[in-house]
Amino acid sequence: MEKSLFAWLDLRDLVKPIAGVGLLKISSLAFTTIASIIVARQLGPAAYGQVTFVLAVMSLLSIPSNNAMGPLLVREVSVHEQAGRWSILSGLLSWSRKVTAGAVLVILFPLTIGATVVFTRNQSIDAMLFVIAAPLLVAWALAGRVSNTLLGLQRTVLAQFFDWFAHPAIYLLCIGTLWYFQSLGPATVLGSTLFALAFATLVGYLVLQNNLPADIRSVEKEFLQRDWISSWRYFIFLQLISVANLRAPILFMGLLSNETEIGLYRVAENITSMVAVSFLIINIVLGPYVSRLHASGQLEELGRIARSAARIALGVTLPAAFVIGLFGEWVIVFLFGVEYEDAALPLALLLISQVLNVACGSVGLILNMAGLEKRALRSWFIALVVNILACTVLIPVYGALGAAVAIGASTIVWNISLLNLIRKLLGINVAAV
């Protein structure tokens, strides 16, 4: 292995954040799983489906201020901090703060009101749940800005501490308290989500201020607004397609099926997320390094690292998916109760699609961190169209099972498409096989 690799990815520098992030993610997984089990058992499939549906709508509305700004901040903070461009870094943080606030106040709250009207008309979902969840748009935006700035500064463990430890720990404490006092319902679950996120974000903001480079406080701000706005605009399209692709089954079940099917699908989705934890951990750690390796032109090293990461993740994901899939119904009944046993077949299909997703490697991350998000737009859009068509046809008949088939088909389409795009543009293979 070439010496240049160690200049960018010294083993000691890489193992420490992976271990730290891994411990945090395992803690997060434990907290969120316990909280999900309590909520799902207490509410039942229909009410649990209502909460899931409202959160899915809110996540779609948070794209401009949270999802789209996140990868832009990680990439730009990483590049400019490494190069010592303190005036640009200071300008970037100032610009992102103003754009985030504007996106929330000018765009997202009116859209929330519209969503409340549209999705509660002729539906059994309580409109008040959307009102309670609306402040999450602000909380998600602030939390994303804090964690993604820390990620760009390579404070990986600190960045994820608030997302993966503080937030889920406080949330579990709230859920446990409400359950003990028999006050758990859809509204209080959403309120607990908001309180936990807001508290963790406040602490995270204070930590971020102590970790910002001292040089950016004393320089005159320099703005690359044209470049940032251009990238942000395309990230909005990309994240809109990505989040819509992920949440389309839930949204379409809310429109074409019922809340019970949403609850079943969400349980299957929760269990599936457990098997891909290694892939998520590696992606979080590698993001800033991918950006720097690409900026330095070390594409061969980038490909080698990406393939190794995908193989490690697949080596963990595949056995876990096999075991859980084999005993899927037993796992579901044991954890969530007999009311959710019909989620077993959707779970099996979601596990298969997750294994394929991991096997293809970090295709989306690499394109985003390499500044090639514009070229990926077409692939994401095609995958979304496939997902929507499949949801429209399958969900009215098969419910959660149809939703699992739709997301699986979409996952295959966009992974293969982006994998081929990376080979064409960068000349590297990032898949595990």
DSSP code per residue over 284-296: HHHHHHHHHHHHT
Q: CA 120 to CA 255: how far, in whole Å?
A: 10
Q: Residue 2 — very low, low, confident or very high, per pLDDT cuts 50/70/90?
A: very low
Above 70 in pLDDT, residue 1?
no
The answer to whether the CB of 40 falls within 8 A of the CB of 338 is no
The answer to whether the CB of 39 falls within 8 A of the CB of 184 is yes
| Lookup: tokens for 29 | 């997984």
Q: Residue 429 — very low, low, confident or very high, per pLDDT cuts 50/70/90?
A: confident
The answer to whether the CB of 14 falls within 8 A of the CB of 287 is no
Q: CA 426 to CA 428: how far, in whole Å?
A: 6
Task: Flag the least confident range among 63-67, 73-77, 347-351, 371-375.
Answer: 371-375
Determine the pLDDT at residue 3. Answer: 40
Determine the pLDDT at residue 5. Answer: 37
The predicted model gives 26-53 an average pLDDT of: 92
Above 90 in pLDDT, residue 82?
no
Determine the pLDDT at residue 108. Answer: 64
Task: Provide the Cα torsion 19, 24, 27, 32; round to 10°.
Answer: -140
| Lookup: tokens for 117 | 């009207």
Q: Residue 119 — very low, low, confident or very high, per pLDDT cuts 50/70/90?
A: low
The predicted model gives 205-227 an average pLDDT of: 86
Question: By C-alpha distance, which of 216, 93, 53, 74 is closest to 150?
Answer: 74
Above 90 in pLDDT, residue 41?
yes
Q: CA 270 to CA 311: how far, in whole Å?
A: 23
Give the tens place of pLDDT for each residue, 174-186. Answer: 999 999 999 999 9
Above 70 in pLDDT, residue 278?
yes
Determine the pLDDT at residue 295. Answer: 72
Determine the pLDDT at residue 109. Answer: 65
What's the mean per-residue pLDDT of the chain?
84
For residue 106, count other CB atoms closer than 10 A to its CB.
10
The answer to whether the CB of 248 falls within 8 A of the CB of 388 is yes
The answer to whether the CB of 64 falls within 8 A of the CB of 234 is no
Domain locations in the chain as residue ranges:
3-426
Q: Residue 48 — very low, low, confident or very high, per pLDDT cuts 50/70/90?
A: very high
The most confident of 9-13, 20-24, 89-93, 111-115, by mean pLDDT: 89-93
Above 70 in pLDDT, residue 125?
no
Determine the pLDDT at residue 391. Answer: 96
Q: CA 153 to CA 74: how far, in whole Å?
A: 8
Determine the pLDDT at residue 7. Answer: 38
Determine the pLDDT at residue 115. Answer: 62
What single-letter DSSP state applies at residue 25?
A: H
- Which own/partner pairs from 269-272 qualify as long-range (CB within 8 Å, at least 24 positions apart)? 269/350, 270/32, 270/33, 270/36, 271/324, 271/328, 271/331, 271/332, 271/335, 271/347, 272/347, 272/350, 272/351, 272/354
SS3 content of the chain, % helix, strand, coil (to 5): 85, 0, 15
The predicted model gives 142-166 an average pLDDT of: 85
Q: CA 303 to CA 300: how far, in whole Å?
A: 5
Above 80 in pLDDT, residue 360?
yes
Token look-up 């064409």 returns: 424
Q: Choose between 28 and 25: higher pLDDT.
A: 28
The answer to whether the CB of 284 falls within 8 A of the CB of 365 is no
Determine the pLDDT at residue 40. Answer: 95
C-alpha separations of 149 from 65, 154, 208, 255, 288 in Å: 14, 9, 8, 37, 11
Q: Residue 118 — very low, low, confident or very high, per pLDDT cuts 50/70/90?
A: low
The predicted model gives 219-235 an average pLDDT of: 86
Above 70 in pLDDT, residue 117?
no
The most confident of 19-28, 247-256, 275-284, by mean pLDDT: 247-256
Q: Choose between 1 and 393: higher pLDDT.
A: 393
Helices H / strands E in the chain, number of each: 19, 0
Above 60 in pLDDT, residue 10?
no
Give the tens place of pLDDT for each residue, 291-341. Answer: 777 777 778 878 888 888 888 889 989 999 999 999 999 999 999 999 999
